[in-house]
Amino acid sequence: MVWLSILLGILFVVLGPVLGCLIAGADRIVTARMQRRQGPPLLQPYYDLRKLLEKDMRANDVVQLILLVMALVATVVGGVSFFAGASFLLCIFLETLASLLYIVAASIGSSPFVQVGVQREILQVMCYEPMELLTAIGIYLHTGSYASGSLGAASVPMVMWLPLIFLSLLFVLTIKLRKSPFDVASSHHAHQEIIAGATTEMSGLTLAVIEVTHWYETVIVLGWVGMFFITSNPLSILLALLAVAIVYLLEIWVDNTFARVKWQVMLKGAWIVALVAGFVNFSPFFFVGTNGLLFF
């Protein structure tokens, strides 16, 4: 239904940053409770954003701002493509484009913290990109189409046929959400290695744009988790939402439990997980496609 796709796309554009802000606020609260602290209010991310918007912009931030706005637009268009049921490949390509624009914008900075952060941002893209492509291949093998909307016509959830791909996606999701142990390019914790990484020299409007982009991105990647549970049954939406909540709580727990690893460990781990999951789950002895079980 074209009208439904248009409606879902509009809802993502309007509600994406709202949900992202609430998720970020809930993240801080849960993290604080895990550390036996009171924590900030739920709307603290919004208060922080408003404070950033009130700051004056430096003259040398103009180029950075243009690039970051382009990254925000690419993220929004990619999210619209996904939630409107269009090509999942287009979504991940636009997400990658947004990451590259962010990297170029950050590389303008001269701080050594910035340069280290930029290099590690590139490494992070190298880590999660293969797994995203494998997920797209899984959608095609499961439904015969790269369109995320095709999952709504499936009789069984994709997670039943692609459990290893799902678990591997959760592995790289930690990188996308910038959480320990794979937050090698930046950190919200001042005592860690390179502090804010690529955003060390950013402030005001430029940092606000990055924050909103991250809110959109959080909603998108959590949507990737939910799509593994979507079927033609409308009640599957509830199952998908439950899975998203459980996965995000797990990510918060991992973030507060594990220390940051070296970038070499992250790179090797992500590629090994992707190769093993892809080889095993797509093998004829394991994979179940639209025509049923093949050999297993």
**pLDDT for res 59:** 52
Q: Kindly report, residue by residue over 115-129, the tens digit of the pLDDT.
A: 888 888 888 888 888
pLDDT over 80 at 145, yes or no:
yes
pLDDT bracket for residue 74 (50, 70, 90): very high
Percent residues over pLDDT 90 in the chain: 29
Contacts of 224 (CB under 8 A, 6+ apart): 82, 135, 169, 173
Residue 49's CB: how many other CB atoms inside 10 A?
Answer: 20
State CA 76 to chain mean position distance: 13
Domain count, the chain: 1
Return the higher-pLDDT residue of 288 and 162.
162
pLDDT over 60 at 150, yes or no:
yes
Ramachandran region, residue 238 (left: φ > 0; alpha: ψ -120 to 50; beta: rest): alpha
pLDDT over 70 at 196, yes or no:
no
pTM of the entire predicted model: 0.87
Residue 296 lies in a domain: no
Q: How far is CA 172 from CA 57, 158, 268, 271, in A?
A: 34, 18, 12, 10
Residue 295 lies in a domain: no
Residue 75 lies in a domain: yes
pLDDT bracket for residue 295 (50, 70, 90): very low
Report how far residue 159's alpha carbon sits from residue 170's, in angstroms, rounded to the nearest whole number.
12
Residue 293 lies in a domain: no
**Of 186-190, 191-195, 208-212, which one has max mean pLDDT?**
208-212
**pLDDT for res 192:** 54
pLDDT over 90 at 269, yes or no:
no
* Structural contact between residues 18 and 167, judged by C-beta atoms closer than 8 angstroms: no
User: For 107, what's the count of Cα atoms within 13 Å in the CB-facing half-sphere?
Assistant: 12
CA-based nearest residue to 230, from 93, 82, 127, 119: 82
Residue 83 lies in a domain: yes
Report the pLDDT averaged over residues 166-171. 88
Percent residues over pLDDT 70 in the chain: 90
What residue type is assigned to position 170 of the chain? L
pLDDT bracket for residue 244 (50, 70, 90): very high
* Structural contact between residues 45 and 25, judged by C-beta atoms closer than 8 angstroms: yes
**Of 21-25, 83-87, 156-160, 194-198, which one has max mean pLDDT?**
21-25
Domain span holding position 260: 2-287
